[in-house]
Amino acid sequence: MPESAGILLFRRTKSYTEFFLVHPGGPYFTKRNEGWWTVPKGEIDKGEEPLACAIREFKEETGFKIKGDFIPLKSITQKAGKVVHCWAVEFDIDAEKIVSNKFKIEWPPNSGSTKSFPEIDKAGWFDLEQAKILINERQVDFLDELSEITSTTR
């Protein structure tokens, strides 16, 4: 089973922590919102270090190169069995200015036409309550773990 690696970006405001999430692009996700957002992530290439993959995927999916002190979070297993490794880092970016890589698929299905879509069509900063509603249910553990870490390091 392939493994993925991702980054959970966070920033602290005066009163709470915000989490950066992305929404998958493409025609299958246009009407899907709650439970479909995710941390920017992607498949680990053979021989690639998971953290290097997470940083690469973040850049590919958002256009932003991030840096900082990466905090390892506990890996999760998604419904289909894929393991996702994740790191958190405190870093601020403008969610309105993401530029995602693109992918091609036959669209509409069985039409013989190929269309290009952004891998990520939107991104945003959310407080914990909003993030828990939007994020893939298996990734809520990332939010909970990071919330616990940030509340003890204030």
| 3-class SS string, 87-147 | EEEECCCCHHHCCCCEEEEECCCCCCCEEEEECEEEEEEECHHHHHHHECHHHHHHHHHHH
pLDDT of residue 130: 97
Per-residue pLDDT reduced to its tens digit, 72-104: 999 999 988 999 999 999 999 999 999 999 999
Asked if pLDDT for residue 152 goes beyond 80, the answer is no
For 152, the token pair is 């003890």
For 101, the token pair is 């890589």
Q: What is the pTM of this model?
A: 0.94
Cα–chain center distance at 151: 22
Q: Taking all residues of the chain, what is their mean pLDDT, rounded to a whole number?
A: 94
**Which of 127, 154, 150 has its CA nearest to residue 71?**
150
Neighbours of 129 (CB within 10 A): 9
Q: How confident is the model at residue 24 (pLDDT cuts 50, 70, 90)?
A: very high
Architecture of domain 3-152: Alpha-Beta Complex (3.90)
Round to whole Å and give the CA distance between 64 and 148: 26
pLDDT of residue 95: 97
Q: How confident is the model at residue 151 (pLDDT cuts 50, 70, 90)?
A: confident
Any idea which residue has 């890589």 for tokens? 101
Percent of the chain, pLDDT > 70? 98
pLDDT of residue 150: 86
Asked if pLDDT for residue 154 goes beyond 60, the answer is no
Q: How confident is the model at residue 21 (pLDDT cuts 50, 70, 90)?
A: very high
Cα–chain center distance at 41: 5
pLDDT of residue 153: 59
